[in-house]
């Protein structure tokens, strides 16, 4: 078999895998807080975290994805806002697309950009509840961990949003 024909067959086969049941886009809003005290007094308090993202289904359960959003300070006395961009894999616990409940776990890397730029990592999980084949409710917990100068700062958050297939 010629290499171009084999490459074409492989691309078609992989294309069907990428269009798996777990591909979706989502928007979210939620609260984030930094629990405890830190030596970095310029990052403290509660934050509103909102944004959106997308996941591309690959295979039965694996979903690499990315998102962008904003962390907005809720403190009246001191405002410290930032943009957050994340990329990482997700793993869905069930394989069937006709299930109403779709629990998942996720983790990866993030970029925090405010008055400076810093790298973070995140982990978390949640569930999509599908009202129909195209629209669902997304509830998720995430912990973004930033470690400037060796001291870990956790942006612990709960989020709620809409998922669209």
**Which pair of tokens denotes residue 108?**
């990866």
The structural domains of the chain, ordered by start, are: 3-164 (2.40.160.20)
Q: Which region, left, alpha or beta, applies to residue 39 given φ > 0 means left and ψ of -120 to 50 means alpha?
A: alpha
Indicate the pTM of the whole model: 0.77
pLDDT given for residue 163 in this prediction: 95
> What pairing do the DSSP bridges indicate for beta strands 82-92 and 62-73?
antiparallel
Walk along the chain (165 residues) and give the pLDDT tens digit of each residue: 455 554 454 444 444 444 445 689 999 999 877 665 443 445 556 788 899 999 998 888 899 999 999 988 877 655 678 899 999 999 999 876 668 999 999 999 999 888 778 889 999 999 999 999 899 999 999 998 888 777 787 888 899 999 998
Q: Under DSSP, is residue 149 helix (H, G, I), strand (E, B) or coil?
A: helix
């Amino acid at each position: 078999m010629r290499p171009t024909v084999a490459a074409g067959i492989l691309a078609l086969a992989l294309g069907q895998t990428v269009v798996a049941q777990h591909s979706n886009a989502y928007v979210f809003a939620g609260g984030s807080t930094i629990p405890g005290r830190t030596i970095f007094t310029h990052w403290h308090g509660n934050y509103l975290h909102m944004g959106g993202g997308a996941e591309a289904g690959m295979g039965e359960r694996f979903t690499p994805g990315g998102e962008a959003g904003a962390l907005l300070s809720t403190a009246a006395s001191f405002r410290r806002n930032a943009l957050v961009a994340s990329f990482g894999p997700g793993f869905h616990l069930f394989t069937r697309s006709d299930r109403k409940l779709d629990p998942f776990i996720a983790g990866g890397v993030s970029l925090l950009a405010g008055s400076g730029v810093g790298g973070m990592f995140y982990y978390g999980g949640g569930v999509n509840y599908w009202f129909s084949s195209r629209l669902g409710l997304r509830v998720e917990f995430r912990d973004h961990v930033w470690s400037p100068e060796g001291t870990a700062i956790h942006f612990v958050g709960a989020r709620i949003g809409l998922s669209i297939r």
